[in-house]
Amino acid sequence: MPPKKIARIPEHFITERLACAARQCEERGAQLTELRREVLELLLRHGSPAKAYDLLEAMRAEHPRVAPTTVYRTLDFLVEAGLAHRIDALNAFVACNDATHRHHTVLTICARCHRTEEIRDEKIHRSLRHGLQATGFLADSIEIKGLCPACTGISNEDAQSAI
């Protein structure tokens, strides 16, 4: 089993990200409604990739009658607005914590512990862009599956929890 990571998320970080999201939406003429703000907050507090149906459950604490559609619609909005990412490798979603707007998103996803990181190193982005240039392919988002640094050593003992 992946080690349970209880990464304590500081409150000020949440409020700051929410405020930033509000600004971003305003600028783009998008409506960060109460519903959308709540889902984004859940994602931020979750801190790691969250499943749509887990979010649904969480939503129901406040809004007992929420349906899957609502959650998926809201997540679509957040992804569209650049406030969250969908992770195909996990069928899950994470809040985006990169306020700057980049060309494309690059995520690393650990097959063992599911830890997911957004790569922001400009050098890596450049080398990706550069490498792809010859192919004529216009990249939008990139998912890199493998083993995170913490899991590289221990992956053989129990390989059963791979993606």
- Given the rule CB under 8 A, which residues bind a second copy? 88-89, 104, 108, 110-111, 117, 119, 121, 123-124, 127-128, 130-132, 134-149, 152
With a CB cutoff of 8 Å and minimum separation 6, the contacts of 22 are 32, 37
Q: Which residue lies nearer to a second copy by CB, 65 or 130? A: 130
Q: Supply 57's token pair.
A: 């459950």
3-state secondary structure at position 106: strand
Element of type H or E holding 60:
helix 52-62
- Nearest alpha-carbon partner for 51 in 89, 92, 111, 13: 92
Is residue 31 close enough to count as binding DNA by CB under 7 A?
yes
Only segment of 12-20, 73-81, 128-136, 148-156 that touches DNA (CB under 7 A): 73-81
Nearest approach, Cβ of 49 to DNA (angstroms)?
10
CB of 40 to a second copy, least distance (A): 22
Q: Is 139 left (phi over 0), alpha (psi -120 to 50) or beta?
A: beta
Residues forming contacts to DNA in the complex (CB under 7 A) are 30-31, 33-36, 51-53, 63, 65-70, 72-74, 77, 91
